[in-house]
A and B are shown apart, each in its own frame.
Chain A
Amino acid sequence: MTLLVELPPDVGTVGHDVGASHVWAIALCALFVGVTLAVTFRVGGTTKRAVDFYAAGRGFGSTQNGLALTGAYLSAASFLGIAGMIALWGYDGFRYSIGFLVAWMLVLPLAQLMRNTGRFTMADIPAFRARQTRVRLACTASTVTVSVLYLLAQMVGVGALVTLLVGVHQGGTFLGMAAPQAETAAIVLVGVLMIVYVMYGGMKAATWLQIIKAVLLLAGSALMAFLVLGLFGFNVGDLLASAADASGKGQAFLEPGARFGGDVAGDPAQSLINRLDLISLVLGLVLGTVALPHILVRFYTVPDGRAARASANRAIMLIGVFYLMTLVLGFGAAALVGPERIAAQDPGGNTAVPQLAEEIGSLVAGPVGGAVLLALVSAVALAAILAVAASLTLASSSSIAHDLFGHVLMWGRPKESQELAVARLSAAAIGAVAIVLAIQARDLNVAFLVGLAFSVAAAANLPVIVFSLFWRRFNASGVEWGVYGGLGASLLLMLFSPVMSGKVHPETGENLSLLPEWVDIQLFPLEHPGLVAIPIGFLCAVIGTLRSDERSTDRYRELRVRSLTGTGAA
């Protein structure tokens, strides 16, 4: 069997020395998987109680959890996607990354309160005051929806990433597989691995996976950013000037408006829609982050509220530094590789960093350097997807086992061993469903799913978290209305948006929507539902609360004390 990819010489692949790079990439990926599996089986032996599986025995320190939060938050889209957008669109790609960081300023003050109030899942927060099974049911519904939407985006991304990195999308073969087989194989492999991590090691394995991945991601980016800056004599002005030159757009490359919220000449309505769409996207990102279940449950892995706050602070530092490095990588790719070569490889720009890796590797240490650096980037990207996918699987299986099985089906009195068995089984089931769906959706552009997941989190989960912590009058009816209102509004608006139907290319008339051309149910002009769905979610939570006479003033007072002081917190 040969590892070499057979490509016609005129096809512009990532590398000229592709074969060597593949050997390195496979070796590095295998090393990562081997190390993380070894860790999983080591900690799997000590995962016996519920608190081990859901919350890693609450034994992680704040620096460890800060790294793990960074790992859980930064997916391959942050690494490859944002740097790629910067390489292709200049300043607008950077503007996109700012929203991802700013969102953490909401996480920081809430981290301690959420940690002190809950035990294992998001539902613990509202259920502290309103101990009804319907509260648990509603929270399970939104947790699983958010996690599975996000998971699906990751899994489809795996397929695209692997074919892009090994170059088979341009008609070559890899280990005798053409693109569709290679995609399916990659999806199945990643799916099976994430099931194994979660089933055997629970939160302990997931946390170590995130930590290892975050260290790899930060170290890899730092190395590349250092090399890029070194090539420009550590002069940022030179780097920006060459990027602007190479882009062909000149100074406009360094100014906002190339990609998002841009004006459409002679069409003020469309210009307004573009601007509202950008605001809608940003609103979903900024308000959704704090309510993402797989981020929220990470705060339960530290011993107390103070450690939760400190870990959010560490995560902000790491994520901020990371996005600044992507700025260097993105402009570096624009300057050294050039937007034309990047767009020729992938119009979305996802190959900008791999191409840059090869370019600077070759400049610094010849063909071997290029191959090694490209392989390193590939391994980091795969690790990034794998870690995020595992934490999403864990968040949804925890909610199914703890909320749905433990509190709804077993009336809050399950045997611990039973609940754990359900958690492991549901991890396998969710993983299997995600594999099947991802293979079905392999050829679709599912990038919108990430934005949708953030929007659902902001519209359905955020009202429940905020009102549970700060509104005396809030009750079970409010939880139900808020969750189902926000969830329903996000999904319906998405169904009627240009993403689903009615969007055509202005020049070629090509159908750019997900549904076939003859279906046109577009009623909502924005591609991101956040701007409308989030207010609906909050409004529904208020209406639902006021419709019911139920009050929980005593429990609320207790919650306030506990959330601030940690007295009696798990």
Chain B
Amino acid sequence: MQTAILIVVFLGWYMAYLFLSIYARDFMGMQIYGVINLALLLGVGQFASTLVLAWGYCLYAARRLDPLAAELRDESAAAEAVLNGRVGQG
């Protein structure tokens, strides 16, 4: 669920950037520091945010998702043992 929110927020952030670069050219051309304008900063910002989010997601997954998965695995292993069910895949 949190993963879905993450994806939606991130795609929204990217679409916002895309639409700004299509419809708000003057705004994007605003010069911030020397020749460096807002469009360049936001573009590099997209890279930075992707890298940070990817890194953050992996930390989150290792801390939160993996223990949950382990718990689920133990439960289903117990259930499997009772049912003596199928494990392999055809």
Which residues of A line the B interface, CB within 8 A?
91, 94-95, 98, 101-102, 104-106, 108-109, 112, 119, 128, 131, 236-237, 240-241, 244, 251-252, 254-257, 261, 275, 278-279, 282, 286, 306, 309-310, 312-313, 316-317, 320, 323-324, 412, 561, 564-568, 570
- Closest residue on chain B to residue A131 by CB atoms: B90
B40 → chain A closest CB, angstroms: 6
Separation of A429 and B25 alpha carbons in the complex (Å): 50
B16 contacts the other chain (Cβ, under 8 Å)?
no
Contact A254 B76 (CB under 8 A): no
Q: Contact between B72 and A561 (Cβ–Cβ < 8 Å)?
A: yes
CA distance A119 to B90 in the complex (A): 10
Contacts of B70 in A (CB 8 A): 565
B89 contacts A128, C-beta separation under 8 Å: yes
Residue of A whose beta carbon sits closest to that of B13: A102
Chain B residues in 8 Å Cβ range of A91:
39-40, 43
Among residues of B, the one whose C-beta sits closest to the C-beta of A124 is B89
A98 and B35 within 8 A (CB) = no
From DSSP, what is the main secondary structure of chain A's interface residues? helix
Show 10 residue pairs from A and B whose CB-CB distance is below 8 angstroms, ordered by the A residue: A91-B39, A102-B14, A105-B53, A240-B35, A254-B36, A286-B11, A310-B58, A323-B47, A565-B69, A565-B73
How many contacting A-B pairs (Cβ < 8 A)?
129
Known contacts A317-B54, A324-B47; is-contact A275 B36 (Cβ 8 Å): no
Closest Cβ of chain A to B34, distance in Å, is 4
Judging by beta carbons under 8 Å apart, are B47 and A565 in contact?
A: no
List B contacts of A306 (CB < 8 A). Answer: 62, 66
Query: Which A residues are in CB contact (< 8 Å) with B43?
Result: 91, 94-95, 98
Contact with A along B27-60 (1 / 0, CB 8 A): 0110101111101100110110011011101100
Given contacts A98-B47, A237-B33, contact A261 B22 (CB under 8 A): yes
Given A105-B50, A244-B35, A279-B18, residue A568 in contact with residue B29 (CB < 8 A): no
Contact yes or no, B7 A257, CB < 8 A: no
Q: State how many angstroms separate the Cβ of A381 from the closest Cβ of chain B.
A: 23
Which residue of chain A has the shortest Cβ distance to B53 in the bound complex?
A: A105
Query: Does B89 contact A568, Cβ atoms closer than 8 Å?
Result: yes
Q: Are A309 and B58 in contact (CB under 8 A)?
A: yes
In the bound complex, do residue A256 and residue B54 qualify as a contact, i.e. CB atoms below 8 Å apart? no
User: What B residues does A94 contact at CB under 8 A?
Assistant: 40, 43
**Shortest distance in angstroms between A128's beta carbon and chain B's nearest beta carbon?**
7
**Interchain CB contact under 8 A, A237 and B51:** no
**Given contacts A105-B10, A109-B57, is CB(A412)–CB(B90) below 8 Å?**
yes
For A255, list chain B residues within 8 Å (CB): 25, 28-29, 37, 39
Would you call A109 and B3 a contact (CB within 8 A)?
Answer: yes
Q: A98-B43, A102-B14, A323-B47 are in contact. Are A565 and B76 (CB under 8 A)?
A: yes
Q: What residues of chain A lie closer than 8 Å to B10, measured between beta carbons?
A: 102, 105
User: What residues on B are CB-neighbors of A106 within 8 Å?
Assistant: 7
Complexed CA–CA distance, A105 and B44 (Å): 16
Chain B residues contacting A251 (CB-CB under 8 Å) are 29, 31, 35, 37
Contact check: which of B21, B25, B69, B87 meets A568 at CB < 8 Å? Answer: B87
> Within the assembled complex, what's the spacing in Å between the Cα atoms of A540 and B25?
37
> What residues of chain A lie closer than 8 Å to B28, measured between beta carbons?
255-256
B interface list, Cβ under 8 A from A? 3, 6-7, 10-11, 14, 17-18, 21-22, 25, 28-29, 31, 33-37, 39-40, 43-44, 46-47, 50-51, 53-55, 57-58, 61-62, 65-66, 68-70, 72-73, 76-77, 80, 87-90
Q: Give CA–CA (A252, B28) in the complex, Å.
A: 11
Q: A106-B7, A313-B55, A313-B58 are in contact. Are A237 and B25 (CB under 8 A)?
A: no
* Neighbouring A residues of B7 by C-beta, 8 Å: 105-106, 109
Instruction: Note all chain B residues with C-beta closer than 8 A to A279.
Output: 18, 22
Not counting A102-B11, A317-B54, A570-B89, a sample of 18 additional A-B residue pairs whose C-beta atoms are within 8 angstroms of each other reads A98-B47, A102-B10, A237-B33, A251-B35, A252-B29, A255-B37, A257-B22, A257-B25, A261-B21, A286-B11, A286-B14, A306-B66, A309-B61, A313-B54, A564-B68, A565-B70, A565-B72, A568-B87
B18 in contact with A282 (CB, 8 Å): yes
* Given known A-B contacts A102-B46, A261-B22, A254 and B37 have beta carbons under 8 A apart: yes
**Complex contacts, A109 vs chain B, CB 8 Å:** 3, 6-7, 57
| Smallest CB gap from A560: residue in B | B72
Q: How far is the CB of A252 from chain B (nearest CB, A)?
A: 8
* Contact present for A256 and B21 (CB under 8 Å): yes
In the bound complex, residues from chain A placing their C-beta under 8 Å from that of B6 are 109
Chain A residues in 8 Å Cβ range of B80:
567
Cα of A317 to Cα of B58 in the assembled complex, Å: 12
**Alpha-carbon distance between A555 and B34 when the two chains are bound, in angstroms:** 60
Q: Which single residue of chain A is at the shortest CB-CB distance from B58?
A: A313
Q: Which 7 A-B pairs have the closest CB atoms?
A: A256-B21, A565-B73, A255-B29, A316-B54, A237-B34, A568-B87, A565-B69
Give the interface centre of A105, A109, A112 by most chain B CB atoms within 10 Å: A105
Across the interface, do A324 and B44 meet the contact criterion of CB distance under 8 Å?
yes
User: How far is the CB of A527 from the nearest CB of chain B, in Å?
Assistant: 16
